[in-house]
Chains A and B, each alone.
Chain A
Amino acid sequence: MMRCREARALIHRAEDRREPISAELAEHATACASCRALLEASRQASALVAQSGGAVSADELDGLTERVMARLAAPGSRRTAPWPRWALAGVAAAALFLAGLASGRGLWPRTVVVTRDVPRVRVVDRPVTVIVEKPVVRERVVTRRVPVVVTRIVERPAPAADQQPPQRLPSTSDLLTSVRAVTSREYLPAAIAAQPELPAEPERLDQRTDAGAPMSVAAASLKGVWR
C-alpha cells in the first residue's frame, strides 16, 4: 500500500514532467482525499493557466506594436539603442587618455624632441644620450632627470637675427637647469670626435647664446658638446 508521503512526491514528479500517473498512484488517490485534492488542484491550476494567456487578437497585437514604437519615438526617449558596455568602456578610456594628453603631462613618458630649434648642428650617425634636467612642475621649480635619446640630428641653417621667431619660453632658466651630454667620444663619428675642442666631459652649460637669446635644450646640448 502506497503511503501518502510517497504518493505526494510522485504526484509532484509526474506534474513536473507532465507524465501520467501510475495505476498504483491513481488507486491511492482514489482512496486518499488529501492526495486526491493535491492531484486535482494541480490539474485544475494547470488547465486554467494553460488558457490564461487567452487568445490574442490581431488588433491587440497591432495596438501593442504601435504603442511601443510611439513610446520609443516620444521626446525624451533615446534615439538609438545604447552602446554595449565594452564600447562605453572604450570611449571612457579614450576620453581619459585625451584628457591626460590635454593636461600636458601625458600618461606615460613623453618623447622630448631636442632637434627642434637647433641653430646649427652636425649629423650624428650614432644615437646620443642626453640627460636634461628641467622643471616639470610649473608652480614650484622641481628638477627631474629625463633621459632623452637623440636618434638623428639634421643640419639646418640658423635663422637670421631679425627673423628669429619670438621665444615661446620666457627664458631658458625657467625650463632648463642644466644639460649634460653623457655621451662619450666613441658615440661620435671619428671626424667629429677628433676635434680638439670637443670636451671629454661637457661642462655646465651657459644658458645664453652668444647673442644673449635664450637657448633651446638642443642648442645648449650641442653647443656644450661639439662647439
Chain B
Amino acid sequence: MAPVSDGELVRRCRLGDRCAFRERVQRHRAMVLRVARAITGSREDGEDVAQEAFVSAYRALGRYDSSRDFDTWLRAITVRHAVSALRARRRRRPNGAAEVAESGLGGGDEPAAAIEGAELRQRVRRAIGSLPIRQRVAITLFGLDGADLAETARAMGCSVGAVKTHLHRARERLARLLGDYVEGDG
C-alpha cells in the first residue's frame, strides 16, 4: 500500500482525523525531538517542547499553507517553543551556562570519539549555553543535521543575512570564551 502523501495527511488532519495526525507525528517526531533537545540543551525540556510543538501544530493546521514544506513549518514551530522554553528557564535561573553544564548539551549520547576530551566538551557546552538566545539557536540549527543557511533562516523566521550575522557573532563570542583553551589544542 502506497504511503499517504503529506498533502493528503494534512487534509485529513484538518477534518479532525486523529489517526492522520498520529501518522504525522510519527513521521516528524525524530526531527522535532532532536531540534528541541539541541536548542534547549536538555533531554526533559526537549521532550516537553516537542510535545507542545506537535499540539500547537495540530491547533494551527488551519493556518498552514499547503504550498509550504510541512517539515519546515513544523521545525519553525518547534524552534519558537524551544526559544520560549529557553527564555522561561533563563528568567527562572539567570545563570544559563551553569544550567547547560548540568543538563549537558547533547549530554551522554554522543560518541566519545566525536569530541576529544570531556573537559573540552564541557567548556564548549557552557560557552554555547551562555550565548544570547538567537545566536544559540542559529548555531544549533545550522550545525544540526547539516541544515544550510536558508533552512536555518526559515526555521528561525528571519533572513539569511540575519542568520549569518547571528552565526558570525556566535563564533566570535565562542572564540573569546574558548580562546585560551582551544589555542593550546591548535
* Cβ < 8 Å to B, chain A residues 36-77: 36-42, 44-56, 60-61, 63-65, 67-69, 71-73
Task: State whether the Cβ of A220 lies closer than 8 Å to any Cβ in chain B.
Answer: no
Cβ-defined partner of A52 (8 Å) among B16, B37, B63? B37
Closest B residue to A65 using CB positions = B25
Known: A33-B183, A47-B114. A81 touches B106 (CB 8 A): no
Give min CB distance, B45 to chain A, whole Å: 13
Is the beta-carbon distance between A56 and B33 smaller than 8 angstroms?
A: yes
In the assembly, what is the distance between CA of A83 and CA of B180, in Å? 56
Is the beta-carbon distance between A67 and B33 smaller than 8 angstroms?
A: no
Grouping DSSP codes into helix (H, G, I), strand (E, B) and loop, the A interface class, with mixed when no group exceeds half, is helix
In the assembly, what is the distance between CA of A18 and CA of B13, in Å? 38
Size of A's binding interface in residues, CB under 8 A:
51
A residues within 8 A CB of B178? 37, 40-41, 44
Give min CB distance, B168 to chain A, whole Å: 5
Is the beta-carbon distance between A68 and B25 smaller than 8 angstroms?
A: yes
Is the beta-carbon distance between B59 and A37 smaller than 8 angstroms?
A: no
Give min CB distance, A16 to chain B, whole Å: 6
Is the beta-carbon distance between B29 and A64 smaller than 8 angstroms?
A: yes
Is the beta-carbon distance between B186 and A29 smaller than 8 angstroms?
A: yes
In the assembly, what is the distance between CA of A78 and CA of B61, in Å? 12
Is the beta-carbon distance between A72 and B55 smaller than 8 angstroms?
A: yes
In the assembly, what is the distance between CA of A49 and CA of B144, in Å? 6
Is the beta-carbon distance between A72 and B58 smaller than 8 angstroms?
A: yes
A residues within 8 A CB of B111? 51
Task: State whether the Cβ of B143 lies closer than 8 Å to any Cβ in chain A.
Answer: yes
Task: State whether the Cβ of B149 lies closer than 8 Å to any Cβ in chain A.
Answer: yes
Closest B residue to A77 using CB positions = B55
Task: State whether the Cβ of A90 lies closer than 8 Å to any Cβ in chain B.
Answer: no
Cβ-defined partner of A53 (8 Å) among B25, B35, B54, B128? B35
Known: A44-B178, A53-B38, A55-B109. A84 touches B63 (CB 8 A): yes
Known: A61-B30, A81-B16. A45 touches B143 (CB 8 A): yes
Closest A residue to B178 using CB positions = A41
What is the interface of chain A, defined by CB distance below 8 A to chain B? 8, 11-12, 15-16, 18, 29-30, 33-34, 36-42, 44-56, 60-61, 63-65, 67-69, 71-73, 78-85, 87-88
Across the A-B interface, give the 7 residue pairs with the lowest CB-CB distance, nearest first.
Answer: A53-B34, A80-B16, A54-B109, A49-B143, A51-B110, A52-B106, A40-B182
What is the interface of chain B, defined by CB distance below 8 A to chain A? 13-16, 18, 21-22, 25-26, 29-30, 32-35, 37-38, 41, 43, 47, 50-51, 54-55, 58-63, 105-111, 114-115, 120-121, 124-125, 127-128, 139-140, 142-146, 149, 164, 167-168, 170-172, 174-180, 182-183, 185-186
